[in-house]
Homo-oligomer: A and B are copies of this chain.
Amino acid sequence: MSTVIVNKIYELKKHIKDWKNNNYTIGLVPTMGALHKGHASLIKEAREACDKVVVSVFVNPIQFGPNEDFDKYPRQIDNDKALCEELGVDIIFAPSAEEMYGKNNRLNNTDLTFVCPPYNLVDCLCGKSRQGHFDGVATVVLKLFNITKADFAFFGQKDAQQLYIIKTMVRDLNLDIKIVPCSIVRENDGLALSSRNTYLSKEERSWALSMSKALNQIKTLYDGGVTDTNVLLDSAISILNKNLDIEYIEFRDFDTFEKIDNAKTNTLVAIAAKSGKTRLIDNIIL
């Protein structure tokens, strides 16, 4: 059976109703399209775990800042569809901004009801430089949860802060959905997959490689018994390419999201940096 592209909410709801009447479990993979092997791994997990799989493809305007790459973000629905066909996706939900936010384009908090994650989780890491980003993410994700009535939703661990925020939203708002975290997928040389990698020149790409190398170095030291985050940080900095514009490297307890001085099991080590004009993120969990 081939993948159906659905653009309208009411149309998707008809399929969902049918599926619910048949007691099918529904898996949602929320994406902004430009699908790569990272997304493919989420879709495969969804395909294995659920009777029906919906991949949403929506470049969500309310999670982009005014100086960010909303306009140039890659859109390639034909490629996306081909991949989804191959992976046995039932429906691609690809709504317009108007379909999601109404005819009069309610895109900001004067006109639209927003979901606002806890300030403690937002005012750090990527949230520091991307004001309002996670409000936009949480809002669209809740909308997608409500529209699809999914039983499971699959999120990449690459966006570790997003993953933590979504899990917190599920807890705080008593949502009946299971969040499934999926491992980071990397190129052979270690670069974490991202739709934004297409922005990189060859040179910028080579600089970016040092990010995963630095994270691996931290893991190696930690496995060897080093837990002092200052020591781990210094070793990472010595490896990171000098042309990168480092935004943060942080160590956080991935259970509580608190900053820590001594690495331990389930420590998130997260990094963000610009390579040229392209902002990249990566992380590992110790």
Residue numbers of A with Cβ under 8 A of B are: 9, 102, 106, 109-120, 138-139, 142-143, 146-147, 149, 168-169, 171-176
Contact = CB atoms under 8 A, between A and B. Distances in A.
A141 B110 CA distance: 20
Most buried by B among A120, A138, A146, A176: A146
Contact of A113 (B112, B147, B173): B173
13 contacts: A9-B174, A102-B171, A106-B172, A109-B118, A110-B119, A113-B115, A113-B168, A113-B172, A114-B115, A115-B115, A115-B116, A146-B174, A146-B175
Nearest to A100: B174
Contacts of A138: 113
Nearest to A117: B113
B114 A110 contact: no
Nearest to A165: B113
Contacts of A114: 115-116
B106 A111 contact: no
Given A106-B118, A118-B106, A143 B113 contact: no
Contact of A110 (B106, B120, B172, B175): B120
A54 to B, nearest CB: 14
Nearest to A101: B172
A7 B41 CA distance: 41
Given A106-B172, A143-B173, A146-B173, A111 B118 contact: yes
Contacts of A111: 118, 120
Contacts of A113: 115-118, 138, 168-169, 172-173
Nearest to A143: B174
A109 B115 contact: no
Contacts of A139: 173
A110 B115 contact: no
A147 B174 contact: yes
Contact of A116 (B109, B118, B120, B173): B109
